[in-house]
Chains A and B, each alone.
Chain A
Amino acid sequence: MSFLIDRRQSSKQKSLVNRQRFMRRYRKQIRQAVAENLRARSITNTQSGEKISIPARDLREPIFHHGRGGRVTRVFPGNEKFVSGDRFPRPQGGGGGGGGPGSSDSGEGMDDFVFQISQQEFLDALFEDMELPNLTKRQLSGVEEFKRVKAGFSREGTPSNISIIRSMRSATARRIALGASKRRELRELEEQLAALPDSEDTLPARKKLEERIDQLREQLARIPFLDDFDIQYHRHSKEPLPRSKAVMFCLMDVSGSMDQATKDLAKRFFILLYLFLSRNYEKTDVVFIRHHTSAKEVDEEEFFYSRETGGTVVSSALELMNTIIEARYPVSEWNIYGAQASDGDNWPEDAQRCVTQISRLLPLTQYYAYIEITDQGDKPLWETYLDIQQHHPESFAMQHIKGPEDIYPVFHELFRKQTT
């Protein structure tokens, strides 16, 4: 007695829960690995997941087992040259003749446990307990776009929406239901007919049966293959689409005082911000503005790697940002985020203009973050911004970054979940 069952369509994700348990247990290690992996990523690479490596000894499941020592005799196959009594030095390490059942599962010398996490898991680990400030503000405002979504089936609709499978299925069901009793009778009559001997005295009976059979066949043939009410249509309904577009402005000082190391630090900060935004919004634009004495909109490559020299006029960048917002990113449609990285240098004469520009900017943006990458004390720009921050603590934030190890904590600090 055997049964064959096709399980291929059943759920494949039986181990999903166990995998999540694993991720949960090693959250700390995974977060650490994720933070380290950030260095190598390009700013807009959000497609790929990440390889995570955890020291194997952290995941050991200990059991009682024998250590080395004592008298052990083991049997091996493939003897070509030994005779009993032969002696040879004990091989070092686990391999060869010395490796026995006990020594292989001690777990020592094993490499790190490396595995791949998906992009989603990567970002989850990265942005755990963080949130975008003021996220809700513009999502609640007027909704204008709609998305067509499938919403079951209906009896009415346009021919282009006919669901063939559903229609054919109900047609088949109808044909079976309508013809069942007739077919049954037909079958019985045919059997009776076949049972009757082919002779003169059964002729009337056979004639009668044949007539009835013909009648039934005709009736069966009259059942339509496809009827009007078999036809079913896909139904669609419109769902309002919450607007979720964001634009992120990356502003960076590229004057002579910013060396490549400082730019790298800034880049990493921008990567984080980009990843974070693209997680919260369906569409995220990035605008790169670099400046020395004058500002210019550039692409990513140029933004991070071109060399410039000269003095520093911060307000030029802020002004350009204002211009771009006006031209391309109407505030009613876009959530605007600004991130500025600088070593803090600025012309003293520029301070007042900066304040003017940023005061114009802040009402337009959701959040504006300034990071100062310097290991010295407060620089001129910091002093300028300090005043602004006191006036707009909800939408303006500033932090110091000294080295690579600060980036993630600072970012974490800027976007910490507000518990109130």
Chain B
Amino acid sequence: MKKRKPICTSSDWNFEILQDYEREIARIAEKFKLDTYPNQIEIINSEQMMDAYASAGMPVNYHHWSFGKHFINIENNYRRGYMGLAYEIVINSNPCIAYLMEENTSTMQALVIAHACFGHNSFFKNNYLFRTWTDAGSIIDYLVFAKNFISECEERYGTDEVEVLLDSCHALMNQGVDRYKRPYPISVEEEKRRQREREEILQQQVNELWKTIPVKAGDDAKDKTVRFPKEPQENLLYFIEKNAPLLEPWQREIVRIVRKVAQYMYPQRQTKIMNEGWACFWHFHILHELYREGLVNDGFMLEFFQHHTNVIYQPSFDSPHFNGLNPYTLGFGMMQDLKRICENPTAEDKRWFPDIAGSPWLDTLHFAMRDFKDESFILQFLSPRLIRELKLFAVLDDEQHDYLEVAAIHDEDGYQAIRETLAESYNISQHDPNIQVYSVNVRGDRSLTLRHEQHNGRPLEPESTTEVLKHLHRLWGFDVHLQSVVSSLGKATVKQHYDCPEASDPEDDLI
């Protein structure tokens, strides 16, 4: 191939250089079939970057003290040099907004454009979770609406009133997402929305909770008591929004806003490894392609390698720098490994991955990116070779024993166990306790009962649970109970019991 002139040989950048890089990277990305939203690349300075950090990466967001706290924290750490700022922030929107720091060198800008504007962007557009759960085209509009609505409420009902409501909603944010129910197809969405609205109005009129008209004598109320809700509800915020007896309409709308934001963020929490892995894989390959064509020089590549290796550095568990598994390392490692399995499969790979060993790598990678989340991606594609490279081992921590036990290491017997354990640890329901609305005492004191299903005997952390229940109590308006249960053979045993307001003698309630 005829070598071309490098786009830029100094570390300073200007807008022409950025445009050149962007054009060339876009051309290469197209060659690799990266399907992206249009890019909106915004150059910002470090202070604006801290702003972007503090509002959860959103370009617009409503006001809340917790964002202020977050901002102060970042500012402190940054000013004292405890942390650097990210080189970019990218937002799952259409057009896809990417913030680039002005302090970046020209090499960094090229790296970041490849990483964010083509790596993350194509992931947002194509991964099934994002396609199902987020609507990139309207998120910015929705956030603008939310911000305006909330500041209107602040004017009308007072900042404090809104603030405590948001506090309560934030406490339940992780329990405010739908996990399994798929939304309606886009084509009939408008129709369905209207229908839902009608349903809501109807539902309000016959709200179960308000049916307090005394039944006629002779009817045996007990036999007829309908369980409410009929089935346990996992989306606490949705349940509150629709059923909390005492909330005003504007309060319901705010609950809804927090719920929507939580739902929008939910896919990102589930695809950290894949998303970063995909983006790193592509900046790595796109920049190599630029080098092959002579568009960047050796100096560029040396600087790039330094940043790249920093990003994917994985300290060992006993290193003072160890802070969990680095998602960039694991993600990039797995993506690279997938390509290798496709191109140069070993006998071991053929045994473990009979269906993809030797297949066209680009198609396989696109398939892996589209149809998996972290948990299933690891379960499907983590290879013994990568386990060996990272020297992964599993440790069992059982409260029954006063020691820890190494459950599996990177050997023939351990590969499967490590793969399963690691995949399981990226299952969000491992992180977030499984808490559902169990029942509402409709005829009595209107108290709300939640149930926490213990998994592997893991209890709730009592202090914060008590605090969150206070928030829930504020939203619900009546007594709130939480039972932490262990189910076996269809029988539930209550292990922990929380009440808000606290029962006069909590000992009595312990079972």
Point out residues on B near A: beta carbons under 8 Å.
15, 18-19, 22, 26, 38-45, 47-48, 50-52, 54-55, 63-69, 71-73, 75-76, 95, 99, 102, 117, 159, 163, 167, 170-175, 314-319, 322, 324-325, 329, 390-400, 402-411, 413-414, 418, 421-422, 424-425, 430-433, 435, 452, 454-465, 467-468, 471
Instruction: Write the nearest CB–CB distance from B122 to chain A, whole angstroms.
Output: 13
Known: A14-B48, A15-B50, A83-B409. A1 touches B38 (CB 8 A): yes
Is A64 touching B464 in the complex (CB atoms < 8 A)? yes
**Bound CA–CA A91/B322 (angstroms):** 15
> Using Cβ atoms and an 8 Å threshold, which residues of chain B touch A101?
324, 425, 430-431
Is A88 touching B403 in the complex (CB atoms < 8 A)? yes
Known: A4-B22, A72-B456. A79 touches B67 (CB 8 A): no
Given A17-B63, A74-B395, A113-B69, 5 other A-B contacts at CB below 8 A? Answer: A8-B102, A67-B459, A69-B459, A96-B317, A101-B430
> Using Cβ atoms and an 8 Å threshold, which residues of chain B touch A116?
76
**Which residue of chain B has the shortest Cβ distance to A25 in the bound complex?**
B65
Point out residues on A near B: beta carbons under 8 Å.
1-8, 10, 12-15, 17-25, 59-80, 82-91, 96-98, 100-102, 106-107, 113-116
Known: A3-B41, A18-B65, A19-B72. A87 touches B467 (CB 8 A): no
Instruction: Write the nearest CB–CB distance from A84 to chain B, whole angstroms.
Output: 5
Ranked 8 nearest A-B pairs via Cβ:
A78-B316, A22-B68, A70-B458, A18-B68, A67-B461, A70-B457, A62-B467, A76-B317
Q: Which of A3, A90, A91, A107 contacts B95 (CB 8 A)?
A: A3
Instruction: Write the nearest CB–CB distance from A357 to chain B, whole angstroms.
Output: 51
**Bound CA–CA A387/B471 (angstroms):** 57
Q: Which of B418, B432, B462 contacts A67 (CB 8 A)?
A: B462
Instruction: Write the nearest CB–CB distance from A29 to chain B, whole angstroms.
Output: 12
Instruction: Write the nearest CB–CB distance from A328 to chain B, whole angstroms.
Output: 43
A/B interface sample: 13 pairs, CB < 8 A: A7-B42, A18-B64, A65-B431, A73-B425, A75-B418, A77-B314, A77-B329, A78-B316, A79-B391, A84-B413, A87-B406, A91-B404, A115-B72
Q: Which of B48, B171, B390 contacts A61 (CB 8 A)?
A: B171
> Using Cβ atoms and an 8 Å threshold, which residues of chain A touch B458?
66-67, 69-72, 102
Q: Which of B39, B43, B175 contacts A8 (CB 8 A)?
A: B43
Instruction: Write the nearest CB–CB distance from A33 to chain B, whole angstroms.
Output: 14
> Using Cβ atoms and an 8 Å threshold, which residues of chain B touch A106?
461, 463-464
Is B397 touching A77 in the complex (CB atoms < 8 A)? no
**Which residue of chain A has the shortest Cβ distance to B423 in the bound complex?**
A75
Q: Which of B73, B317, B329 has the most CB of A within 10 A?
A: B317
Is B406 touching A2 in the complex (CB atoms < 8 A)? no
Instruction: Write the nearest CB–CB distance from B411 to chain A, whole angstroms.
Output: 8
Is A67 touching B460 in the complex (CB atoms < 8 A)? yes
Known: A8-B44, A21-B64, A22-B68. A87 touches B404 (CB 8 A): yes
Known: A62-B471, A116-B76. A87 touches B397 (CB 8 A): no
**Which residue of chain A has the shortest Cβ distance to B418 in the bound complex?**
A75
> Using Cβ atoms and an 8 Å threshold, which residues of chain A touch B393?
75-76, 79, 82
Is A2 touching B117 in the complex (CB atoms < 8 A)? yes
Q: Which of B329, B414, B425, B459 contacts A74 (CB 8 A)?
A: B425
Is A89 touching B403 in the complex (CB atoms < 8 A)? yes
Is A15 touching B43 in the complex (CB atoms < 8 A)? no
**Bound CA–CA A61/B258 (angstroms):** 15
**Which residue of chain B has the shortest Cβ distance to A75 in the bound complex?**
B422
Known: A21-B65, A76-B392, A82-B409. A63 touches B316 (CB 8 A): no
Q: Which of A4, A7, A18, A88 contacts B48 (CB 8 A)?
A: A7
**Bound CA–CA A72/B399 (angstroms):** 9
**Bound CA–CA A193/B474 (angstroms):** 83
Instruction: Write the nearest CB–CB distance from B383 to chain A, whole angstroms.
Output: 15
Is B395 touching A70 in the complex (CB atoms < 8 A)? no
**Bound CA–CA A12/B64 (angstroms):** 17
Instruction: Write the nearest CB–CB distance from A301 to chain B, whole angstroms.
Output: 33
**Which residue of chain A has the shortest Cβ distance to B63 in the bound complex?**
A17
Is A5 touching B425 in the complex (CB atoms < 8 A)? no
**Bound CA–CA A339/B13 (angstroms):** 60
> Using Cβ atoms and an 8 Å threshold, which residues of chain A touch B47?
12
**Which residue of chain A has the shortest Cβ distance to B391 in the bound complex?**
A79
> Using Cβ atoms and an 8 Å threshold, which residues of chain A touch B43?
4-8
Instruction: Write the nearest CB–CB distance from B157 to chain A, whole angstroms.
Output: 16
Known: A68-B399, A69-B399. A75 touches B421 (CB 8 A): yes
